[in-house]
């Protein structure tokens, strides 16, 4: 059987990987193929999986850790075996958690246990133009994701000045001079950009092939799911402000008093999206609660701060 291609999506927490994933599946070149999805989240409850538009597509979720650390290797390889033997898709799309070390993926796929039944067609790193320079000094995985990518998708550039975008592009080129760059609003990436990234991958010789899987989640990074329903919006905003840089990412479904909304926070900036849980556009499955990812903070501290917001 021919090796099954993988399009890998990486990028820091909140960069816009799920948005890009949903847009890619709308492309004519992808929509007409037999697709399988693997969505990985660093947390107990998978929020992104509920937000992926996957009608007619096989979806696998891997939670509780980084896709490319030893803590999930067994589950990942089991998923690959199911894909190769039972589903046999034309293409696999993988959305990795924002703290993933992507250099571990290729050696994992090339191990005997995977039988080289898969290959990475293109590795696209999503770069959050608003927060990448804030993340880079203390989250080393963010820099490695960019350096190891075949193509760079830069999100949220519509919220920056042209000079700021130009400076970010210079930084990205210094980290990965050969990867094509696409400024993409709401994940708007054409298929020919993926092929340019794939061409870059075919020519590169600098990707490590002897990486050792991490033994566990990244140091200083923790995740907690807090079961909350009715939430005081002002109290939640205050909690996010108190947590400051210790809160890397927060997302989930809550009710501020007018029905369920999807709320998220990246580096203290909170946004919310109302939805009708009975509408065709609502997630197929979801539950009230917040998933928070913190840095240099305990799970108890995160849980306490967010639990106090419940009405």
Residue with tokens 């998933």: 291
Instruction: Give the contacts of 154 (CB within 8 A, at least 6 positions apart).
Output: 126, 127, 129, 165, 168, 169, 172, 181, 182, 183, 184
Closest CA to 207 of 122, 139, 276: 122
Instruction: Give the contacts of 3 (CB within 8 A, at least 6 positions apart).
Output: 116, 117, 118, 119
**DSSP string over 21-53:** HHHHTTSHHHHTS-EEEEEE-SSSS-SHHHHS-
Q: What is the pTM of this model?
A: 0.76
**Structure token digits, residue 299:** 């799970």
Instruction: Give the contacts of 238 (CB within 8 A, at least 6 positions apart).
Output: none
Kindly provide the residue ranges of all beta strands, DSSP E only, lying in 148-301, ordered along the sequence. 151-155, 181-184, 221-226, 247-255, 260-266, 269-274, 289-295
| Domains of the chain, first to last | 4-203 (3.40.50.300), 221-307 (3.30.1220.10)
Look at residue 81 in the predicted model and tell me its pLDDT: 84
Q: Where are the alpha helices (DSSP H) in the chain?
A: 17-24, 28-31, 48-51, 73-82, 105-110, 132-135, 140-147, 162-175, 191-203, 233-243, 299-307
Dihedral class, residue 197 (left if φ above 0, else alpha if ψ from -120 to 50, else beta): alpha
Residue with tokens 């005081």: 232
Look at residue 212 in the predicted model and tell me its pLDDT: 46
Look at residue 75 in the predicted model and tell me its pLDDT: 74
* Consecutive 10-residue averages of pLDDT for the chain (311 residues): 88 88 91 84 45 60 50 71 87 83 65 68 94 84 90 94 95 96 92 96 68 54 85 93 87 88 84 71 71 86 92 83
Look at residue 69 in the predicted model and tell me its pLDDT: 46
Instruction: Give the contacts of 193 (CB within 8 A, at least 6 positions apart).
Output: 151, 153, 180, 182
């Amino acid at each position: 059987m021919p090796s099954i291609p993988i399009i890998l999506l990486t990028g820091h927490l909140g960069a816009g990987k799920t948005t890009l994933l949903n847009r890619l599946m709308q492309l004519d070149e992808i929509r007409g193929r037999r697709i399988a999805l693997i969505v990985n989240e660093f947390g107990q409850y998978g929020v992104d999986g509920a937000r992926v538009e996957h009608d007619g597509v096989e979806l696998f979720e891997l939670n509780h850790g980084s896709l490319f650390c030893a803590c999930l290797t067994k589950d990942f390889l089991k998923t690959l075996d199911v894909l190769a033997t039972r589903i046999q898709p034309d293409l696999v799309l993988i959305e990795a958690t924002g703290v993933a070390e992507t250099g571990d993926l290729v050696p994992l796929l090339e191990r005997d246990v995977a039988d080289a039944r898969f290959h990475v067609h293109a590795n696209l790193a999503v770069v959050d133009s608003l927060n990448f320079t804030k993340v880079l000094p203390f989250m080393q995985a963010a820099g490695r994701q960019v350096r190891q990518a075949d193509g760079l998708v830069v999100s949220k550039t519509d919220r920056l000045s042209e000079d700021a975008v130009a400076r970010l592009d210079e930084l990205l080129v210094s980290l990965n001079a050969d990867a094509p760059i696409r400024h993409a609003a709401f994940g708007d990436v054409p298929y020919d950009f993926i092929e340019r990234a794939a061409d870059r991958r075919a020519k590169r010789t600098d990707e490590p092939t002897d990486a050792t899987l991490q033994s566990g989640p990244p140091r200083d990074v923790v995740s907690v799911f807090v079961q909350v329903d009715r939430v005081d919006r002002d109290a939640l905003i205050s909690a996010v402000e108190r947590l400051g840089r210790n809160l890397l990412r927060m997302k989930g479904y809550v009710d501020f008093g007018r029905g369920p909304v999807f709320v998220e926070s990246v580096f203290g900036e909170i946004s919310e999206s109302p939805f009708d849980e009975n509408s065709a556009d609502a997630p197929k499955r979801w539950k009230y609660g917040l998933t928070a990812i913190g840095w240099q903070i305990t799970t108890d501290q995160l849980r306490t701060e967010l639990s106090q917001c419940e009405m």
